[in-house]
Amino acid sequence: MTQHFDRRGFLGALLAGTALPSALLASPPATSLRPQSRPGSAKPLAVTAEKLVADAGLSGEAAFTVFDLTTGRPLEARNPTMSLPPASVAKALTALYALDVLGADHRFETRVIAAGRIENGILKGDLILAGGGDPTLQTDDLADLAARVKAAGLTAVEGRFLVWGGALSYADQIDTLQPAYVGYNPAISGLALNFNRVHFEWRRANGQWGVTMDARSDRYRPEVAMARMRIVDRATPLFTYADAEGRDNWTVALSALGKGGSRWLPVRKPELYAGEVFQAMMRSQGVTLKAPQTTDILPQGEVIERHTSVALTTVLKDMLKYSTNLTAEMVGMSATARRLGRGETLVNSARTMSDWAREKLDLKATAMLDHSGLGDGSQTTTGDLVRALSSPLARTQLRPLLKTIEMRDRNYKTIPNHPLKVVAKTGTLNFVSTLAGYAALPDGSDMAFAILTGDIPRRDALTRVQREDPPGGSAWARRSRLLQQALLQRWAVIHAE
């Protein structure tokens, strides 16, 4: 049975509660590349895209491109060749890169290796925890891995306990311009745990402050010694960080503690972090390991047990939903290592991805400096993004992984049962807001779109302290998101068949 498409009813539903200004209906917008409506059809909105941009009151620049996937024709564009930071929309490009180079079913392995013979359960040599670039490894995974190592018959280790993260090049942080204490900017290594974040909790009891630094999960709370916290009686700064004595040494301002609380802090020594947690889990199995030591060279040996991640598609779907920076960097660097046959630094890996994008997707104006979009040095255009989204690779493999974007009214409240169905990747930096993905209409029309907004001079003027909560940043981002909604809902009306 064929469902009849009621265009007039669709337009009415689309306009109900719309985020568009209360513009009146008249002639088609001058910027539309689509032919004018047929006589007798419902009139499109008079408000042009330029008016929407002007009414948004955004400082800085705004660019967009929208493309009809059904007919293969461009619909509208504003500044399609203007270079702006993609922010976390970069993760969509990274996902495409990984899907093409690694394959949808790729899985990451973390191995426990015995470098020496095992006699009567005793290892006469070193035990190695070897990372394989898994960005999703959690404390519970190491607990399960330790149990399987014990079940395999290991009861004691006479040699050292080594940790190896050399599958990927080490970086102490993703973006050097971020505040030192933000959990979304941790170190990168081939061995990562809990997205390379350590849990800092503070409680006051009997007039004294107690602090813990642990690798908590739903099942375990192993404390770690490689990250230390000291409370200092001061007003500012909130946190300080120092790399000293082979540890992450933090201080926190007493004035900021309130009555107690917790937050995740970035880990700068991920191999030692994972090593201490695995050591604790092995101890709970009755197997004592020496303190973990990092090694740059992976010793040869027999794999006792291994932890295998979920398939790459699941890793990427979560990355795109939660916008996890570390996942993007590790997945992108893993793809580069596969493509080149060797590991590369973060910047060189991002440049390799840009080369791939130029060769595979014909993206001539995209120049990435990371895989997550956290740094604002990366540049792309809405024209390039839509070209990527229009590719068969993106339409068949990326699109099913993107999250649903709800349609919202001018008060940013969700509009229930909205006929426009959008899946996309969002992106947000200070005074940068981006959105790119797909919009499907009930009549079968299908669009790929990209929207980039940014006030780069205003962003560049921020001090490091201001970067976590910049003055005016939230209001600017809200105006940008409302503009995105207005553009999407306008396109749905203007370009409905």
| Beta-bridge partners for 127 | 114, 161
Instruction: Give ∠ CA 261-267-270 in degrees, rounded to 5.
Output: 140
- Rounded to the nearest 5 percent, the helix, strand and coil shares of the chain are 30, 25, 40
- pLDDT tens for each residue of the chain, 497 residues long: 334 444 555 455 455 445 444 332 222 333 433 434 444 444 445 589 999 999 999 999 999 999 999 999 999 999 999 999 999 999 999 999 999 999 999 999 999 999 999 999 999 999 999 999 999 999 999 999 999 999 999 999 999 999 999 999 999 999 999 999 999 999 999 999 999 999 999 999 888 999 999 999 999 999 999 999 999 999 999 999 999 999 999 999 999 999 999 999 999 999 999 999 999 999 999 999 999 999 999 999 999 999 999 999 999 999 999 999 999 999 999 999 999 999 999 999 999 999 999 999 999 999 999 999 999 999 999 999 999 999 999 999 999 999 999 999 989 999 999 999 999 999 999 999 999 999 998 888 899 999 999 999 999 999 888 888 899 999 999 999 999 999 999 999 888 75
* Domains of the chain, first to last: 7-103+312-494 (3.40.710.10), 109-308 (3.50.80.20)
Q: Give SS3 for 200.
A: strand
Q: What residues contact residue 460 under an 8 Å CB cut-off, 6+ apart? A: none
End-to-end CA distance of the chain: 21
